[in-house]
Amino acid sequence: AQSVTQLDSHVSVSEGTPVLLRCNYSSSYSPSLFWYVQHPNKGLQLLLKYTSAATLVKGINGFEAEFKKSETSFHLTKPSAHMSDAAEYFCVVSDQGGFQKLVFGTGTRLLVSP
Amino acid sequence: ETGVTQSPTHLIKTRGQQVTLRCSSQSGHNTVSWYQQALGQGPQFIFQYYREEENGRGNFPPRFSGLQFPNYSSELNVNALELDDSALYLCASSLATGENYEQYFGPGTRLTVT
């Protein structure tokens, strides 16, 4: 079964500084990987997805992630944090069972201070 | 905002009772997935419906059941509620089953079991 591990439960940054949210995956084959964001009282929103094309994936709101097979990692980055980026972020792997079953990590809460 | 809606927004039930949660999928989507998100955790896959048939199921007991209607809206039913069923229940719709189709999430129903 596929799984993801988010290495930090909380990350604190100052506005304007870089963001790094770490994720390692476990998969027996080339996985499909995603990052979702969840703002309070809002649904989950897809930030970006990797599906075996380019290893550097660009998403919405300036976020990007790099797929590194040798390190089994899929870290999420943003060059400059904005106050509106404060939210819960989930690294997700698709478990291929003939249908799309999303397997979520435990989440990383991003705190952005002025 | 996605076109996925869920009702009700909040619900309080007593242990042993039954509950029905509803999901209206985005226009044109024939696949609905349900997830349970306990407090402080990532969402966990419950099951998926594709064209009115259950298409896959996670590790949830049979007292969790569902339906999908001809208009592709969906219900999640939980019988014999337990305290541990307290969670945010999310539904997601997609154009079709399979990992190439993005899942669009609704805002969720917050269920509290007392």
pLDDT at A19: 98
pLDDT band at B27 (very low <50, low <70, confident <90, very high): confident
In A1-114, alpha helices (H): none
Token pair belonging to B28? 């044109």
Distance, CA of A16 to CA of A7 (rounded, Å): 23
pLDDT in tens, B35-87: 999 998 999 999 999 989 998 899 999 999 999 999 899 999 999 999 999 99
Taking 90 as the threshold, does the pLDDT of residue B89 lie above it?
yes
> How many CA atoms lie less than 13 Å away from B77 in the CB half-sphere?
8
Q: What is the DSSP letter of B9?
A: S
Q: What per-residue confidence (pLDDT) applies to A94?
A: 85
Spatial CA neighbour of A74 closest among A59, A88, A84, A96: A59
Q: Does pLDDT of B1 surpass 70?
A: no
Please give the residue that has the higher pLDDT: either A97 or B108. Answer: B108
The total number of residues written for chain A in this structure: 114
DSSP B25: P
The count of CB pairs under 8 A between chains A and B is 64
B100/A51 Cβ within 8 A: yes
Query: Do residues A25 and A74 lie in contact, with contact meaning Cβ atoms separated by under 8 Å?
Result: yes
E strand segments, A1-114: 3-6, 10-14, 19-21, 23-26, 33-38, 44-50, 56-58, 64-68, 73-78, 87-96, 100-104, 108-113
Which residues on adjacent β-strands are paired with residue B81? none
Chain B interface, best mutation among A4, A36, A96, A99, by max B CB count within 10 A: A99
Is A44's CB within 8 Å of B43's CB?
yes
Give B6→chain A minimum CA distance, Å: 10
- The pLDDT, as a whole number, for residue A21 is 98
User: Between residues 60 and 89 of chain B, which touch chain A (CB distance below 8 Å)?
Assistant: none
How far apart are alpha carbons A87 and B53 in whole angstroms?
A: 35
pLDDT for the residue numbered A41: 75
Mean pLDDT to the nearest integer, B15-44: 94
Kindly give the parts of chain A with pLDDT less than 50. none
Residue B102: its chain A contacts at CB < 8 A?
46, 49
Comparing alpha-carbon positions, the chain B residue that sits nearest to A52 is B100
